Amino acid sequence: MEKKAKKINFEDALEELEAIASKLESGELTLEQSLQYYERGVELAKFCRQKLEEAERKIEVLQKQPDGTVGKRSVKVKEDTGEIEDDEDIQGSLL
Amino acid sequence: MSEEIENNETVYSVSDITGILKQLIESTPQLNGVWVKGEISNLTYHSSGHIYFSLKDEGAVIQAVFFKHANKHLDFKLEEGMSVVVFGGVTVFEKRGSYQFIVYKIRKEGLGELLQKIEKLKEKLYKEGLFAPERKKPLPVLPKRIGVVTSPTGAAIRDIIKVAMRRFPNIEIILAPAKVQGEGAVASIVTGIQELNNPRWDVDVIIAGRGGGSFEDLMAFNEEAVVRAFASSRVPIISAVGHQIDHPLSDLAADVAAPTPSAAAEIAVPVKADLMAAINNYAMRVSRRLSLICESFANRIALITQRRVFQNPMSLVENFELTLSDTENRLQSLMQKRITEIKERVSRIKDLELMIKNRLQNYWHIYMMQASKLEHLSPVSVLKRGYSITLKDSQVVSSIQKIQTGDSVRVVVYDGSIQCDVQSVSEEVSFGKKG
């Protein structure tokens, strides 16, 4: 089950979690099945929460390097306005 | 004919008639949402911000109003005698009994050719299937990293960052800076989209666009190369060009079209708190349900354990013990009874012995008595008492008839015999002295 959870994406996991909630609420399961679904549900909820925390909150700008390749640079932003504030100039284009 | 009409007595008010007229005009498609070509005259920039003018050609004139909210995006100054194309619709101004054209957008004349060119391109790409619904890719529910193609200094990137971070605080945004208008814009946008499609940037969705501007400002997003770049993006792409009326062709080629960059960010980025709430809700439902199920089983178990057997498990053994001791008792009393019986029988056997002894004694006694009787009956014992037997010729003489005088007889007594001769025979029986 652990392996399976790693393969599925957030969307599928969330969908399955909802299905499990509905299934458990249908009350048609044996105790053993309920326990299995519960375990899977807890696992999926954990997986989904992890997924939500996976991104690292960063704003990056692609910039053309002197050697002609494209690199990225982290920049600071003003949270209230969304304005990029960086000491260095930012290229206006990758051309 | 005229009689008939005059005979119709229904009387309308001026407002009624004007209302009918207004409804008629405003619901006529040819009079609304149309482009009209003309020349500006009687131009007035009012202090309220509204712009009033007349639109005329050789044959007619129509009053036109360009309201403040609509003209704020106007990026050139209107001039008397200017040839323009206006977009809008005809409406009736009841109070003055006049009709006028409400303007939403104005272009300098000459843009018509550009429009035609766009229309042709649109048709061509449409025929190619570039805008086909089946080409549209679904957007990811939870993008980790958003790619943006726009100017690093424009309003678009600020709006996208602001909205995205508000919705999902730990979102990752990677900007491919691009010129969005003027010379080099097309190549710049195309490069940006292509670069963000490079797997090394690990982008889940791309927003490409710019804030609102004049028709010419947005032209880059109508260029074939840009439209094709949108259509061929491997990563799901959102067209985010601020526009009022005309959709740029990029909107048709993108997987999703957003009316503004902010809207694009809202479409691309989920509200983290909502997702978290949904997950928690499902998780809570799952846990609550399970605890309910467990509770019901626990209740059943409690009911079972309340039964006497579980309350007092010794009762199980006690029962057996009772049965056992009962059996034991029965067995013991049975044995006792049996023993008594046997004893009785044994004692009865002793009695028999005694009885047999008694019997034997009896028989012995009887025997002895008979024996002594027998003794008495023997002739010897009779002879002993003084009797004797007379024999003649070994015959017992029991009568005088067989005897004559002179016969010789033998008299047998107890301890011997006497030989005698008969002297006389008499019939007289006497044991005393006679004569």
| pLDDT bucket at B7, cuts 50 / 70 / 90 | low
Within this chain, do residues A26 and A14 fall inside the same structural domain, yes or no? Answer: yes
Residue B266 touches partner A, C-beta closer than 8 Å: no
| pLDDT bucket at B5, cuts 50 / 70 / 90 | low
Residue B206 touches partner A, C-beta closer than 8 Å: no
Question: Is residue A91 one of the residues assigned to a domain?
Answer: no
CATH of the domain spanning B115-270: 3.40.50.261
Report the residue of chain A nearest B284, measured CA to CA: A21
Q: Is the dihedral of CA B235, A74, B191, B210 positive or negative?
A: positive
- The nearest CA of chain B is from the CA of A55 a distance in Å of 5
Q: What own/partner pairs with CB < 8 Å and gap ≥ 24 does A46-49 have?
A: A47/A5, A47/A6, A47/A8, A47/A10, A47/A13, A48/A10, A48/A13, A48/A14, A48/A17, A48/B275, A48/B279, A49/B276, A49/B279
Q: What is the pLDDT of residue B111?
A: 65
Measured distance CA(B274)–CA(B415) in Å, rounded: 161
Would you say residue B433 has pLDDT above 60? no
Within this chain, do residues A64 and A48 fall inside the same structural domain, yes or no? Answer: no
Q: Give the rounded distance of the alpha carbon of A37 from its chain centre.
A: 24
Measured distance CA(B391)–CA(B397) in Å, rounded: 5
Do B181 and B122 touch, CB atoms closer than 8 A? no
Would you say residue B387 has pLDDT above 60? yes
Question: Is residue A95 one of the residues assigned to a domain?
Answer: no
CB contact under 8 A, A45 and B286: yes
Report the residue of chain A nearest B194, measured CA to CA: A94
Architecture of domain B2-109: Beta Barrel (2.40)
pLDDT in tens, B258-297: 999 999 999 999 999 999 999 999 999 988 888 888 888 8
pLDDT in tens, B153-199: 999 999 999 999 999 999 999 999 999 998 899 999 999 999 999 99
Residue span(s) of chain B under CATH 2.40.50.140 come to 2-109
Q: What is the pLDDT of residue A2?
A: 46
**What domain count does chain A have?**
2
Measured distance CA(A40)–CA(A45) in Å, rounded: 9
Within this chain, do residues A50 and A63 fall inside the same structural domain, yes or no? Answer: no
Chain A residues with CB-CB distance to B202 below 8 A: none
Chain B residues with CB-CB distance to A56 below 8 A: 170, 172
Sheet holding A84-85, edge to edge: A84-85, A70-77, A58-64, B172-177, B145-150, B205-210, B237-241, B256-258
| pLDDT bucket at B213, cuts 50 / 70 / 90 | confident
CB count in 10 Å sphere of residue A69 = 7
The DSSP-derived string for B11-30 is ---HHHHHHHHHHHHHT-GG
Chain B residues with CB-CB distance to A41 below 8 A: 282-283, 286-287
Q: What is the pLDDT of residue A34?
A: 85
Residue B140 touches partner A, C-beta closer than 8 Å: yes
Chain A residues with CB-CB distance to B286 below 8 A: 17, 20-21, 24, 37-38, 41-42, 45
In residues, how long is chain A?
95
CB contact under 8 A, B162 and A49: no
Question: Is residue A25 one of the residues assigned to a domain?
Answer: yes
Measured distance CA(B186)–CA(B191) in Å, rounded: 9
- The nearest CA of chain B is from the CA of A4 a distance in Å of 19
Domain that holds residue A76: 56-86
Q: What is the pLDDT of residue B231?
A: 96
Measured distance CA(A60)–CA(B418) in Å, rounded: 186
Name the pTM for this structure. 0.59
Q: Give the rounded distance of the alpha carbon of B114 from its chain centre.
A: 62
Short-list B350, B125, B148, CA closest to B237: B148
b (16+ CB within 10 A) / e for B164-176: bbbbbeebbbbbb
Within this chain, do residues A29 and A66 fall inside the same structural domain, yes or no? Answer: no
Do B421 and B408 touch, CB atoms closer than 8 A? yes
Structure-block tokens of residue B337: 């009874």
Measured distance CA(B21)–CA(B267) in Å, rounded: 42
pLDDT in tens, B33-84: 899 989 899 999 999 999 999 999 888 999 999 999 988 878 788 888 888 9
| pLDDT bucket at B3, cuts 50 / 70 / 90 | low
Mean pLDDT value across chain B: 88
CB count in 10 Å sphere of residue B33 = 11
> Cβ contacts of residue B15 below 8 Å, gap of 6+?
B94
Q: What is the pLDDT of residue B6?
A: 62
| pLDDT bucket at A81, cuts 50 / 70 / 90 | confident
Residue span(s) of chain B under CATH 3.40.50.261 come to 115-270
Report the residue of chain A nearest B195, measured CA to CA: A70
